[in-house]
Structure 1
Amino acid sequence: MTIRTGIGGWTYAQWRDGTFFPAGLVQKRELQFASRAVGAIEINGTFYRLQKPESYRKWRDETSEGFVFALKGSRFVTNRKELASAGEAIESFMNQGLTELGDRLGPICWQLATTKRFAPDDIAAFLALLPREWEGIAIRHAIEVGHESFACSEFVDLAREARVAIVWSDHPERTPIADRTADFAYMRLQGMRAKCPTGYDQDELDRWRRICQSWANGHAPDGLPYRGNREESRDRPGDVFVFMINGAKERAPAAAMALADLLRE
């Protein structure tokens, strides 16, 4: 099991003042630097538009062995009234050349709008559309929900049956769901504060460390909101992906690296 801490994207002007990137680093080297400072990067651009196969090849070649990209699923898939109708859009997303990443390809995160309500039949149909394999490469999926109607055992059961991870988010507009439903865990942490050099203070980072280690080892840690049977979240060890996304984004790299340091202790 591997715990990877990372950031969202690698092109951010406020990281160029020495906060993250060394002064004078040319922009075309930023991905190369970032991929050696953190363990994973979530690509947000794939949410807005399809990318070219040559872009994926370039990103693969610029990153080091063991590094992983997570991809945000397309908004043309998730921003629709009926997710069950997204078959063609999912196929288009999968056909854009993402398998050119090879062993750098991590999970795909399908982010639903915070206003999207849980409709069991529609969600079940959507999860069934997500491919488990593409062009010979195994594909892992995660789903980020927001509306409180998803905080129920029926949703947890559907995600578990489909082997899709439910994203843990600390965003105030997203309902937290701690149940483990796949062979990996996916966290999007969005509560960083600008006044804190590491985004989260030491106690908060230590809490994330304990949760990450518990999930990696197949435990169901205390103090989290389980929406299904907590016992079914046990004995599910696997990789853990932790992304420092929003809040005080300028602190995201420091937060990711500080958490990684704690995990190595």
Structure 2
Amino acid sequence: MGRLRIGTSGWTYPEWRGVFYPPGLVQRRELEHLADRLPTVELNASFYALQRPGNYPSWARRTPPGFCFSVKGWRAVTHEHRLVDVQDALADFFASGVLNLGEKLGPVLWQLPPSLRFDAEVLARFCALLPSTTTTAAELAAFRAAAPGATSPAGVEERPLRHAVEVRHRSHENPELTDVLRAYGVALVTADTGGRWPLLQEQTADFSYVRLHGSPELYVSGYDDAALDDWAQRVRAWSAGGRDVFVHFDNTMAGRAPFDALALAQRLGR
């Protein structure tokens, strides 16, 4: 069996307070509360803006050994440049302090906009730019003026760096998509979106990445016992051959995500 990591997408939600988070828990302790119960979380703030370099080691220090942060890639790469001419934006992203997570850095998630159609050549050029190790990411970052406190190439311990791509336009339901991603070892995200966007389950890398956004109501609906049993069966099958699996619940708006994550983990003996 590969290693299973089941968690949530983000952790700072008013709807969780007094429900998942105990009444009176101060907001700055919410990450610690979640990390005591789940082994992974997606960092979403990195999608909306480049973070201060000191944020990343702070998040790492506040979580226990073995905890893992999946990091959502900066939207300038995916939504503004739409994967074209993105070397500088990629460099800025990695220069912003992402590598300061150290051994707690997990996969980098690249979420494509719903309007972005499949283009095999564009996707292949993008995948070719993605650094496959932390040291190559640091070397890429060094081409740009890093913010004060960002990790320099000399200070980075070399580790593999994984990438996952979540597609949303129906044109990606194309066999060429998996050919491109397999060629570069990039995982195709399996995303449950209540039918709004494609549910693709092909495995294209040495790990699986799953995002459960809620069904039938996006970001709101919880998963009942039958649905959790079904997802547990899929996750178990993907991990059976030694593939690591990352699952992040994004049905955050009604506070269901952490409870669904715990329920799925229990089904998988975690």
Cα distance between partner residues in 1 of 2:169 and 2:182: 19
Cα contact 2:222–2:251 (8 A) shared by 1 = no
The residue that corresponds to 1:163 in the other structure is: 185
The residue that corresponds to 1:60 in the other structure is: 60
The residue type paired with residue 10 of structure 2 is: G
The residue type paired with residue 240 of structure 1 is: V
Percent pairwise identity: 40
The residue that corresponds to 1:230 in the other structure is: none
Per-residue CA shift, 1:166-185, capped at 9, x if unaligned?
Answer: 00011122212111111110
Which runs of at least 4 in structure 1 moved beyond 6 Å after TM superposition?
none
Q: Are residue 205 (structure 1) and residue 206 (structure 2) matched? A: no
The residue type paired with residue 185 of structure 1 is: S
The residue that corresponds to 2:200 in the other structure is: 177
Cα distance between partner residues in 1 of 2:200 and 2:128: 21
Q: CA deviation at 1:36?
A: 1.2
**CA RMSD in angstroms, aligned pairs only:** 1.8
Cα distance between partner residues in 2 of 1:40 and 1:82: 28
Cα distance between partner residues in 1 of 2:55 and 2:48: 15
Q: CA deviation at 1:120?
A: 1.1
Per-residue CA shift, 1:83-138, capped at 9, x if unaligned?
Answer: 23111101111111111111111101000011110111111101111110123232
TM-score, length-normalised on structure 1? 0.87
Q: Give the secondary-structure state (helix, strand or coil) at the position aligned to 1:253.
A: helix
Q: Please, which runs of 5 or more residues in structure 1 have no aligned partner?
A: 219-236
The residue that corresponds to 1:234 in the other structure is: none
TM-score, length-normalised on structure 2? 0.86
Greater CA drift, 198-207 or 92-101: 198-207
Per-residue CA shift, 1:127-179, capped at 9, x if unaligned?
Answer: 11111012323210000001111111111000000100000011122212111
Q: Please, which runs of 5 or more residues in structure 2 have no aligned partner?
A: 136-157
Per-residue CA shift, 1:175-198, capped at 9, x if unaligned?
Answer: 12111111110001011579xxx9
Kindly tell me the number of residue pairs found equivalent between the two proteins: 244
The residue type paired with residue 153 of structure 1 is: P
The residue that corresponds to 1:223 in the other structure is: none
Per-residue CA shift, 1:225-263, capped at 9, x if unaligned?
Answer: xxxxxxxxxxxx311011110364411010000101111
Cα contact 1:5–1:40 (8 A) shared by 2 = yes
Cα distance between partner residues in 1 of 2:231 and 2:17: 27
